[in-house]
């Protein structure tokens, strides 16, 4: 037994070379770790293989890596949400907030002009805008100075088309 008086709990490789195994053992109260060299003839390694086979070790290693990645991703996403970099659009409150901000934020920076430009391009890709024959409405959309005007023109076109 790798650790006298302990029972095997789980194990996985710790390195890309698959030369070292992190094994966990318990005495019924406390879980303890032991690092074992994956080397034929090593008593601890040979003992470990009586508790888990090579395939099991590789599967456990894969699961451990995935779990680590998930934990890291969850942390990164939480940080991004906290900073406002990432919005959760499944949250209706977030959608409402974003709409309000887009429509009524009196922002006149070059960034907002770029946003307006991209917004107009997206509107012109809509079928009812593409098919609109009323030049005056399309001209209003083209000449809109902010998001509100662009959206208003698009709504006019939409209502005319229905």
Interface residue list for other proteins (CB under 8 A) = 2-5, 14-15, 19-20, 22, 30, 32-37, 39, 42-44, 68-69, 71-72, 75-76, 79, 82-83
Question: Closest distance between other proteins and the C-beta of residue 139, in Å?
Answer: 38
- Separation of CA 158 from chain center: 35
- Nearer to other proteins by C-beta: 30 or 121? 30
- Separation of CA 76 from chain center: 8
Question: Closest distance between other proteins and the C-beta of residue 65, in Å?
Answer: 8
CB 31 within 8 A of CB 9: yes
- Nearer to other proteins by C-beta: 80 or 95? 80
Question: Closest distance between other proteins and the C-beta of residue 108, in Å?
Answer: 18
Strand partners, 25: 8, 32
Burial of 147 (0-12, 13-18, 19+ CB in 10 A): buried
Question: Closest distance between other proteins and the C-beta of residue 94, in Å?
Answer: 21
Strand partners, 12: 22
């Amino acid at each position: 037994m790798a650790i006298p008086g302990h029972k095997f709990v789980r194990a996985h490789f710790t390195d890309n070379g698959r030369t070292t195994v992190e094994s966990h053992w318990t005495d019924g109260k406390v879980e303890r770790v032991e690092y074992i060299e994956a080397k034929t003839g090593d008593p601890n390694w040979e003992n470990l293989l009586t508790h888990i086979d090579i395939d099991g070790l590789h599967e456990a290693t894969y699961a451990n890596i995935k779990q680590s990645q998930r934990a890291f991703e969850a942390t990164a996403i939480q940080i991004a949400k906290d900073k406002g970099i990432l919005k959760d659009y499944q949250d209706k409150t977030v959608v409402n907030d974003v709409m309000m901000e887009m429509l009524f934020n009196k922002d006149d920076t070059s960034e907002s002009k770029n946003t307006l430009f991209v917004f107009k391009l997206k509107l012109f890709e809509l079928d009812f805008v593409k098919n609109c024959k009323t030049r005056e409405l399309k001209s209003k959309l083209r000449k809109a100075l902010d998001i509100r005007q662009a959206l208003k023109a698009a709504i006019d076109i939409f209502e005319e088309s229905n």
